[in-house]
A and B are shown apart, each in its own frame.
Chain A
């Protein structure tokens, strides 16, 4: 055993994997927006230091035991340059031809000419980070890095170190945004080398406000990209934020995402993620119920095939009494694909009258598909009602028989049952237009077989 190790890396991390990222960072650092602002430099340095210390998590890390990031190590990602891609149609949940507030990011960089803030009520700010630094510096200084702290999350640390661009939404007290706000993230990459970008989002909904946000993540071409996004969501007292996301990148992309929400008293944070694309994806959602009578929904659906790997890791933190949480996740896994679901609910001491519900179900469609699930309850208060359920299995033979007996061919019957299975999760989406759009993505996936 070596006795001359300088600093011992914490268990489950590979600090050596940090080196290529840090080298790139030092090259681009000076050109990052807001460089020279002391609080922002401080935040980035904190992220850099922590990432340098930890590096990438390994499978020995309890939270990463089922998702191996070694592929990232080998690919030597380079920071994205401004992609000059043209788009005929951008994805939207709106009816044909309709326009509305939208921010577009290509390889993590804002594209003003594709974006619009039309239709937003007065006082609502929808900006990219660089503009926000100029126009709302206090808002950023007050909120950035406050809930997605880099401490024990190496990928948040990495994102923080590279913090450069992303969407910023500020909804003032009592304002309801009627129009659905769309955030479009397009991965293009480069033929020359694998490309990495680290979009950083911030949503601040003040007391009694309301907003509906849809994130679209799509890919163009087939270049290898890594999107390592972090979004922080502040839900004020009595405010409600409906935050939906669909990820349909191509299967050469890596999609890592961390969404952290903090919900004040009587606030509602509603999150839904539909995952269809990417070679390897991980969605980490954290929702902290930080005031009494808060409510959070963390749900989603995923469909994977080929050699895809999808990881859903959720963390619901009942920090205050009388809050409710609901979580419904459903997944379909075909071919050699692998799905991971890790869902943790923690009920802190004194968070009495908590009502927590979690369900996760997966369908295996092939003999080589794999699911690893770890639903977790950690409870420190006694007057609580918490339950979780997990089931894993194949399509029900009886149900298939029922349909076949009615003259429906096997493929169509399977399609119907898979669609019905996923619908149960999609029903968690309260916004009808979003639900319909997401349903159509599910249908597209099924038809693509």
Chain B
């Protein structure tokens, strides 16, 4: 039987879609009933055994959300109305407790992560097997499956240094004072439609606290996986870098291939105190829908970092290849004097994908600096928009911003748009914005083709070159993966 099944699967994989993470995991799940109301909010809060203050906060958010209007008037996106009642707001793989060893982790889950291409060594680490931790650790992983964090690795080792890296639902119990102090302090519960919804129904996500003066010795990573059908994923990430600390954080995500659209509305909050640095990298590879534009994830994410302290730095690097719709503007609030914000982005849209993405740099403190490099590649019938805001407030003396936005169009059915907003209220500030739009030149293609590269390989090579400035900002672990993704996302876009 194996041979035929395999063949069938292979054929399907090739013909259906080149999205290799499109499989589903057959696993028993705890699922909340469909719909969204106060009871669901209470249900989620109860599942997580949350303290009263958090439930109150969720309910406040939910009440505000009910009065809010979906932000549809300004983004260059079009999609049918979303029925917020027609989804499950909680889904979790059934397990007794958080697993303590490999044996306790559901084998189906292990298989899932294996198939997702997280290396086996890492997988052993994922399940927290003794011995594996001794081998050259490079990366600690928090794996979020639907609504819950199933495992977090390297916790013990990190704890020795005072670093807290765990699921946010765990942090609520473990260090409530930190969570209460910082949760919603960067993205308040009244912020915007999707973020407010997240406040009401967030299920899990990662929590990171780096103590004073500590340089986190390894990359911290969260891997998000949506599995359950008809669920939304609403994770919440909170990273606090105390004075003089440093952390590099990676985020990855995939979802099964389904014909209906699924909603992902995450909130990420970063706080950097004096002299602290946070480097946040994302490779977003949610299921983008098929070549006809059916299915795919709606990725409506609010990401914001606050450089609260002097000389602090927050750097966002994103590679956006997935999702049917991306609505995402990772931002920096540069409050501390001399603080630095960076945004490096590669966004690739193909087929019927739509992306409206960019950043906001809000300069409040003196001598604050920001850099924006955005590379957009649009192919097929995709529509992509860079939308960014650089705002200089009156007290931001000596503030500097440089923005570079480049768009590449592949094919004559797609669109690439650039909408930067510049608001300057300080004389001494200097803001520069440059944008270009072009297509791959015949000369470049010809040069590659002449040296025996196929057209697709040539395009992939040229696009990788176009994105190099951003890809080099990624940590090693992601850079290789990202380069491959660039190639895969564009498959079928030429010829």
Which residues 60-108 in A have Cβ within 8 Å of B in the complex? 62
Q: How far is the CA of A372 from the CA of B424 in the complex (A)?
A: 6
Does A378 sit within 8 A of B, measured CB to CB? yes
* Contact code string B393-430 (vs A, CB < 8 Å = 1, else 0): 01000000000000101111111111111111111111
Does A433 interact with chain B (Cβ within 8 Å)? no
Instruction: Give chain A residues whose Cβ lies under 8 Å from the Cβ of B411.
Output: 382
The verdict on B436 contacting chain A, using a C-beta distance below 8 Å, is: yes
- Contact for B422 among A350, A372, A380, A382, CB less than 8 A: A372
A residues 317-358 touching B (CB-CB < 8 Å): 349-350, 352
Given contacts A349-B413, A375-B433, A382-B414, contact A390 B420 (CB under 8 A): yes
- Closest chain A residue to B407, Cβ basis: A379
Contact between chains at A377 and B412 (CB < 8 Å): no
B439 interface residue, CB < 8 Å from A?
yes
Residue of B nearest to A376 (CB): B419
Residue pair B418, A392 in contact (C-beta under 8 Å): no
**Distance of A387 Cα from B435 Cα, bound (Å):** 5
Indicate which residue in B413, B423, B427 contacts A394 across the interface (CB closer than 8 Å): B427
Residues of B within 8 A of A392 (CB): 422, 424, 429-432
CB of A379 within 8 A of CB of B412, answer: no
CB neighbours (8 Å) of B432 from chain A are: 389-392
In the bound complex, how far is the Cα of B428 from the Cα of A85, in angstroms? 45
A383, A391, A394: which contacts B428 (Cβ < 8 A)?
Answer: A394
* Contact of B415 with A367 in the complex, beta carbons under 8 Å: no
Q: How far is the CB of A374 from chain B (nearest CB, A)?
A: 5
User: B412 to A383, Cβ gap below 8 A?
Assistant: yes
Q: Which of B53-78 contact A (CB under 8 A)?
A: 73-74, 76
Take A62-B73, A376-B418 as given contacts and tell me if A385 and B429 are in contact as well, using a CB distance cutoff of 8 Å. no
| Distance (whole angstroms) from the CB of B428 to the closest CB of chain A | 6
B436 touches A378 (CB 8 A): no
Residue pair B412, A349 in contact (C-beta under 8 Å) = yes
Taking CB atoms, residues of chain A closer than 8 Å to B430 are: 391-394
* Residue A371 at the chain B interface, CB threshold 8 Å: yes
A307 to chain B, nearest CB (A): 15
Given the interface contacts A372-B423, A382-B410, does A388 sit within 8 Å of B418 by beta carbon?
yes
List B137-194 residues whose CB lies under 8 Å from chain A.
none
- Taking the closest CB of chain A, its distance from the CB of B99, in whole angstroms, is 49
B434 proximal to A (CB < 8 A): yes
| Pair B438/A377 contact, Cβ less than 8 Å | no
- Cα distance, A390 to B390, chains bound together (Å): 12
- Decide if A367 touches B394 in the complex (CB within 8 Å): yes
B426 touches which of A367, A380, A382, A388 (Cβ 8 Å): A367
CA distance A389 to B439 in the complex (A): 19
Q: Give residues of chain B (430-487) contacting chain A, Cβ–Cβ below 8 Å.
A: 430-439
Tell me the interface secondary structure of chain A in the complex: strand
Q: Within 8 Å of chain B (Cβ to Cβ): is A373? A: yes
Instruction: From the candidates B73, B415, B431, name the one contacting A11 in the complex (CB within 8 A).
Output: B73
Which residues of B lie under 8 Å from residue A394 when comparing CB positions? 427-428, 430
| Assembled-state Cα–Cα distance A382/B416 (Å) | 9
Contact status A380-B431, CB under 8 Å: no
Is A241 in the interface zone, CB < 8 Å from B? no
Which residues in B have their C-beta under 8 angstroms from that of A369? 425, 427
**A364-B424, A377-B417 known; A389 vs B412 contact (CB < 8 Å):** no
Q: Are B415 and A375 in contact (CB under 8 A)?
A: no
Residues from chain A with a CB closer than 8 A to the CB of B437 are 377, 379, 384-387
Q: Which residues of B contact A24 (CB under 8 A)?
A: none
**Residues of A contacting B435 with CB < 8 Å?**
375, 377, 387-389
A196 is an interface residue with CB less than 8 A from chain B: no
Chain B neighbourhood of A349, CB < 8 A: 412-413
- Minimum CB distance partner of A356 in chain B: B437
> In angstroms, how far is the closest chain A Cβ from the Cβ of B47?
33
| B378 shortest CB reach to chain A, Å | 9
A151 to B467, CA, bound (A): 41
A378 and B415 in contact (CB under 8 A), knowing A62-B73, A389-B433? yes
Contact A377-B73, Cβ < 8 Å, known A382-B412, A387-B437: no
Give Cα A267 to B76, complex, Å: 32
CB distance from B363 to the nearest CB of A (A): 12
Beta-carbon nearest neighbor of B389 in chain A = A374
**Cα of A368 to Cα of B425 in the assembled complex, Å:** 7
Nearest B residue to A383 by beta-carbon distance?
Answer: B439
Least Cβ distance of B477 to chain A in Å?
34
Q: Are A393 and B431 in contact (CB under 8 A)?
A: yes
Bound-state CA distance A389–B420 (Å) is 10
Q: Chain A nearest CB: distance from B366 CB in Å?
A: 13
Q: Which of A20-78 contact B (CB under 8 A)?
A: 62
CA distance A386 to B437 in the complex (A): 5
Chain B hits for A133, CB < 8 A: none
A364 near B426 with CB under 8 A, answer yes
Contacts of A390 in B (CB 8 A): 420, 422, 431-433
A381: interface (CB < 8 Å): yes
- Alpha-carbon separation in the docked complex, A377 to B433 (Å): 13
CB A1 to nearest CB in B, in angstroms, measures 9
Cβ–Cβ contact B433 & A382, under 8 A: no
Q: How far apart are the CA atoms of A362 and B417 in the complex, in Å?
A: 23
With beta carbons under 8 angstroms apart, the residue of A365, A382, A386 that contacts B436 is: A386
Select from chain A the residue with minimum beta-carbon distance to B391: A372
Cβ-neighbour of A391 out of B76, B414, B433, B436 (below 8 A): B433
Q: Does A206 sit at the interface, judged by CB under 8 A?
A: no
CB of A374 within 8 A of CB of B431, answer no
Q: How far is the CA of A224 from the CA of B294 in the complex (A)?
A: 58
Smallest CB gap from A384: residue in B: B437
Question: Judging by beta carbons under 8 Å apart, are B421 and A374 in contact?
Answer: yes
Establish whether residues A370 and B436, one from each chain, have CB atoms under 8 Å apart when the complex forms.
no
**In the assembled complex, A19 has its CB within 8 A of some CB on chain B:** no
Q: Which of A368, A389, A390 has the most CB of B within 10 A?
A: A390
Tell me if A366 counts as interface (CB < 8 A to partner B). Answer: yes
Alpha-carbon gap, A362 to B410, bound state (A): 34
Q: How far is the CB of B397 from chain A (nearest CB, A)?
A: 9
Chain B CB within 10 Å, residue with most, of A11, A369, A382 = A382
Complex contact B417–A385 (CB within 8 A)? no
In the bound complex, CA of A386 to CA of B418 (Å) = 11
Given A389-B433, A390-B422, A392-B431: A384 and B438 within 8 A (CB)?
A: yes
Q: Which of A352, A362, A366, A384 has the most CB atoms of chain B within a 10 A radius of its CB?
A: A384
Closest to A358 in B: B435
Partner of A371, one of B409, B412, B420, B424: B424
Closest to B412 in A: A382
Which residues of chain B are within 8 angstroms of A11 by Cβ–Cβ distance?
Answer: 73
Instruction: Verify A380–B418 contact, CB threshold 8 A.
Output: no
Contact A367 B73 (CB under 8 A): no
CA distance A376 to B410 in the complex (A): 20
| A387 with B436, Cβ < 8 A, contacts A371-B424, A379-B417 known | yes
Q: Which residue of A lies closest to B432 (CB)?
A: A391
Asked if A374 and B409 sit within 8 Å, CB to CB, the answer is no
Complex CA gap A12/B414 in Å reads 29
Residues of B within 8 A of A372 (CB): 421-424
Q: Which of A62, A380, A387 makes the CB contact (< 8 A) with B434? A: A387
Known pairs A367-B394, A376-B418, A390-B420; A382 contacts B439 (CB<8 A): yes
In the complex, 17 of the A-B residue pairs with CB atoms within 8 angstroms, ordered by the A residue number, are: A62-B74, A364-B424, A364-B426, A367-B394, A368-B425, A371-B423, A372-B422, A373-B420, A373-B433, A374-B421, A377-B435, A383-B439, A384-B438, A385-B438, A388-B434, A390-B422, A394-B427
Known pairs A380-B415, A383-B439. 13 more at Cβ < 8 A?
A365-B427, A368-B425, A371-B423, A375-B435, A376-B417, A378-B76, A379-B437, A382-B410, A382-B412, A383-B412, A384-B438, A390-B420, A392-B422
Q: Which 8 residue pairs spanning A and B have beta carbons closest together?
A: A382-B409, A393-B430, A373-B422, A377-B418, A390-B433, A364-B427, A392-B431, A386-B437
